[in-house]
Amino acid sequence: MTGPNVSEVVDHCNVSNTWTYEVLAWVVIGQFVLGLPLNLSVLYVFIFRFKFWKNRSVFLFNIVVADFLLVACLPSKAYSYTLGQRRNPNYSLCKAMHFMLFLNRGASIAFLVTLSLDRYFNVVHLGRRNFVKALKKSPQISVVIWLLLLPLAIPATLQTFECCNSLGRNGTYNQNVTDIFRETVFFTQIILPFIVLLYCTVCTVHRLKKKTVGENAKLQRAMYVVVSVVVIFSVCFLPSTMARAALLAVRLRGWEELEEVVVQFYDALMVLSYTDCLLDPLVYCFCYSGFKDAYLDTFCPAFLYQRLRKEGTPTTTSTTTSKGRSTSLPMIEKLQV
């Protein structure tokens, strides 16, 4: 498609402050350099050592997959920033990468919310029927979640979302409808899950504080899990959402000079949201003692692994094999799953 719309997209994608985007490019490169080996190692342990399908960790595995696919998109983002553009100059590649970013972002949030709901039912409504527990054991449910997320990622490819040819620009009726739908999906994808996460976390922490039976370390670890979900969600996703709202407000008022500044803040906070691919494996996976032991046993030197194991006292164990040796690993506690 050619005409005024194409030039309009390119004009709004060119950056006014190249220094800012050079810095962001290096930040994205750093996220890629750290995120690629981290997520590859986590995937390896999940598949070959932890055997996630046997440890009821299918949803956790899907979060790691979403993070890995996000990491794979980061080089394209860094490349466009080094060229002084907010998107890849290849329009087809730009739409494909943006589709992947939207899909992986939605998948990470969806599986995160599902895990929080499971913890909520296991702690707050212990003894009652937990429908999430049955869902998380089925790989087919994970496939269904990915398929349901596909339509929500499509609006990001209809027009260039990153370059902000959306609300406030003069466009046709169909373009305005598309823009409104896309912005609605963007904000709903963050705000509604955050409300659910906040409610589940508050109720879970309140219930755990009332518990008098069980190991203190186990309860503290469970509270750490549920609180960390909201903290990481708030750090990675809420800032970019608020910046997006501010950007749309500035554009609707026609403040063009201020818009150039707000756009840079928005892009910087979007780069911050990519840090999710580094924090998810550390917080949502390593907090499970069984997976943590499997990871340390695989990648840590033997003397360091034995020293770290002495610091904890696991209660229930399962046996896995690695490099010809048998290792006793603590199972995932019920409150954490």
Average confidence score pLDDT of the chain = 75
Question: For residue 37, what pLDDT is reported?
Answer: 93
Q: pLDDT grade, residue 92 (50/70/90)?
A: confident
Question: For residue 29, what pLDDT is reported?
Answer: 95
Beta partners for 330?
A: 317
Question: For residue 34, what pLDDT is reported?
Answer: 94
Convert the pLDDT of each residue in 275-289 to its tens digit: 988 988 877 676 677
Question: For residue 295, what pLDDT is reported?
Answer: 83
Q: Of 13-27, 30-44, 118-132, 160-174, which gets the smallest average pLDDT?
A: 160-174
Residue 309 has pLDDT above 70, yes or no: no
Task: Assess contact for 67 and 35: CB atoms under 8 A.
Answer: yes
CATH class (in words) of the domain with range 4-286: mainly alpha
Q: Of 61-70, 77-86, 224-233, which gets the smallest average pLDDT?
A: 224-233
Question: For residue 211, what pLDDT is reported?
Answer: 67
The pairs formed by 243-251 with CB atoms below 8 angstroms and a separation of 24 or more are: 243/269, 243/270, 244/183, 244/186, 244/187, 245/187, 247/164, 248/166, 248/167, 248/168, 248/183, 251/164, 251/167, 251/168, 251/169
**What's the predicted TM-score (pTM) here?**
0.79
Residue 30 has pLDDT above 90, yes or no: yes
Convert the pLDDT of each residue in 257-280 to its tens digit: 888 888 889 889 999 999 988 988
Residue 318 has pLDDT above 50, yes or no: no
Which sequence spans correspond to the domains of the chain? Answer: 4-286
How confident is the model over 249-260, as a mean pLDDT? Answer: 82
How confident is the model over 182-188, as a mean pLDDT? Answer: 83
Residue, of 135 and 19, whose pLDDT is higher? 19
Check residue 330 and report its DSSP letter.
Answer: E
Residue, of 40 and 164, whose pLDDT is higher? 40
Residue 98 has pLDDT above 70, yes or no: yes
Check residue 332 and report its DSSP letter.
Answer: P
Q: Of 12-26, 99-113, 187-201, 314-328, which gets the smallest average pLDDT?
A: 314-328
Q: Nearest-CA neighbor of 162 among 85, 86, 246, 71?
A: 86
Question: For residue 257, what pLDDT is reported?
Answer: 81
Check residue 333 and report its DSSP letter.
Answer: P
The percent of residues above 90 in pLDDT, for the chain, comes to 12
Residue, of 271 and 222, whose pLDDT is higher? 271
Question: For residue 27, what pLDDT is reported?
Answer: 95
Q: pLDDT grade, residue 304 (50/70/90)?
A: low
